[in-house]
Amino acid sequence: MRIAILTALAAAACTSPQIDPGAYFCGPDGACPEGQACNGPDNVCVAASTAKPFECGMGFVDVVGDDTAATGQPVTGLGCVSIQFTTLGCLQAGDIGDWFQFDVPDNCAAVKVDARVSFPVAFERLELQLSKANGPPATMESPCSAPSTADSPEEVRCLSAVLEPGAHYAIGVVPDGTQNCDARCANNRYTFSFQLKAP
Partner 1 sequence: MRCVGIAVLGVMLMSGVAPHLAHADVEPVGLPVPRRARRQDVVIDIPGERTTNNKLLLAGIGGAALIAGAIGTYFTLDWKSASDDVAASQPTGEAWTPRHVELVARADRSAGRAGIAYGIGGAFLLGAIVTYIATEPKSTRQIIPTRAPTVTPTQGGMMLGKMWSF
Contacts to partner 1 by CB under 8 A = 2-3, 6-7, 9-10, 12-20, 22-28, 31-34, 44-45, 121-122, 150-153
- Residue 62 burial (CB count, 10 A): 14
Report in angstroms how near the CB of residue 40 gets to partner 1 at its nearest: 15
Q: In this complex, which beta carbon is closest to partner 1, that of residue 14 or of residue 146?
A: 14
How many other C-beta atoms can be found within 10 angstroms of the C-beta atom of residue 22? 13
Please list, in sequence order, all residues whose beta carbon lies within 8 angstroms of the beta carbon of residue 48, skipping any fewer than 6 positions away: 35, 36, 37
- Main-chain phi, psi angles of 2, to 5 degrees: -65, -40
Using the minimum distance from each CB to partner 1, give the nearer residue, 121 or 159: 121
Choose between 132 and 184: whose C-beta lies nearer to partner 1: 184
Rounded least distance, CB 158 to partner 1, Å: 20
Q: Shortest approach of partner 1 to residue 38 CB, angstroms?
A: 9
- Least separation in angstroms between residue 29's CB and partner 1 is 10
What sections of 72-190 are H helices per DSSP?
Answer: none
CA-derived radius of gyration, the chain: 22
| Residue with smaller CB distance to partner 1, 12 or 64 | 12
Q: Across the beta sheet with 126-132, what order do the strands follow?
A: 73-74, 98-103, 168-175, 126-132, 138-139
